[in-house]
Amino acid sequence: MKKKAYSVAIAGATGVVGREILNILEERDFPVAGIRLLASERSAGEKIRFRGKDEVVRLLEKETFEGVQIGLFSPGASVSAVYAPIAAKAGCVVIDNTSHFRMDPDVPLVVPEVNPGAIAGYRKKNIIANPNCSTIQMVVALKPIHDRFRIKRIVVSTYQSVSGAGREAMDELSEQVRQIFTMRSVEKKVFPHQIAFNCLPQIDVFLDNGYTREEMKMVDETKKILGDDSINITATTVRVPVFVGHSESVNVETEGAITPEAVKKVLRGAPGVKLMDDPKKGVYPMPVECSGRDEVFVGRIRKDFSVPNGINMWVVSDNLRKGAALNAVEIAEVLAKEYLNGRAKHKASFRV
C-alpha cells in the first residue's frame, strides 16, 4: 500500500538543525507531498537542494502555513513563540525544537523510544515539543534502566559540543583555533570566554539557584518525559571544544539491586541504544566516532561503590541528529502513521 504523503514546512530551514532535518527527511524517505522552506529575511531567496531539486527558501510569515500539515520548527524560541501558535491555528501540527513549549503542561514532550504515547496529547494545542539535546540522549539510555530497576537519583555532567549553540559557535571555534596558531588575539562573540582548547562550565544563563538554564532543563525535562517527579536529579553542563557530539557522565542510583552486567543486558535490546563497552580494548563511545550516527551510544558501565545500588556510565550521541533533527523527524513519523493517516483532507491543495 502506498504511503500517504504530507505537506511539510521547515521553519529555520537554513540553520544547522533545519538543514539536518531536511537531510534526514530525504534519508528516511519521509512521505513528503510538498516541502516549504522558511527562514528570516536574511536567508529568504536562498536555494537548498531536496530530492534532486533546488527549493527556494521563503520568508517566514503568518500566511506561510496555509495548507501545511506538519511543521518542523527550529528558528529560535522567540520566533517559535510567535509562529508556532499561528501555524497550529492554521491546522499544521508543529514539532518544535526550541525550549519555548517544553514545560507547557498542555504540550507533549516526546522522545519516541521513551514515551511515544505522549504524542496523542498534541490535540490540545496542535504542538509537540522536542526536548533538549542533552536530555534526549540521556533518557534514551535511562528509560530501560528505569523500567527494570526504578531510578531514584541521577547525577549527570555533560560535555557538550559547540554545534549545540549553532553555526556561529562552530565558526567561532574554527576561527579561534586559527587565531591561536597564527599568534593573533582571540576574538569572542558567541561565548563569554575562549572556547578553543578550553572548557566552559556555563551553557545558557545562570539562574538564582546557581544552576544554568541548561542544567535545569535536564532536571525538569527528564522528569516530564519519564513521567516521574520522584526522581532526584542534579546536573552540571559544560561546553567543550568539540564540533559535533555531546558526551555525558551519568551516575544512577536505583531502588532495586543493580549490576553492570544487568544494565548491559537491558541496554542491548533497548530501542535507539548502541552498546560500546569493552574498555580494556579501548572500546567506548567518543564524539568523533558517533558523529553522523543515529544511535545513543553507551559504555564505561561500572558499579558505583559509594552507594548500595548505583552505576556509572558514559553516554554519547550526535546532538544535531538524535539530539534535534532525527528526534523531530521520528516524532513526525509516528504522528503521520498513528494520528494523521487518512484525516488530512486539505493536503491536495498544498503547492510549492
Give backbone dihedrals phi and psi of 245, rounded to 5 degrees, phi first: 115, 120
- Distance, CA of 129 to CA of 101 (rounded, Å): 6
C-alpha cell at 72: 518542523
Residue 216 near residue 203 (C-beta atoms within 8 A) = no
- Distance, CA of 318 to CA of 327 (rounded, Å): 11
Residue 283: C-alpha distances to residues 157, 266, 276, 279, 293 (Å): 21, 19, 6, 5, 16
- Distance, CA of 241 to CA of 164 (rounded, Å): 11
If DSSP codes are grouped into helix, strand and coil, which group holds residue 203? coil
Residue 320 near residue 17 (C-beta atoms within 8 A) = yes
Catalytic positions are: 133, 246
C-alpha cell at 30: 519521509
- Distance, CA of 279 to CA of 261 (rounded, Å): 14
Closest-CA residue to 204 (of 165, 178, 176, 235) = 165
C-alpha cell at 40: 528570516
Give backbone dihedrals phi and psi of 246, rounded to 5 degrees, phi first: -95, 140
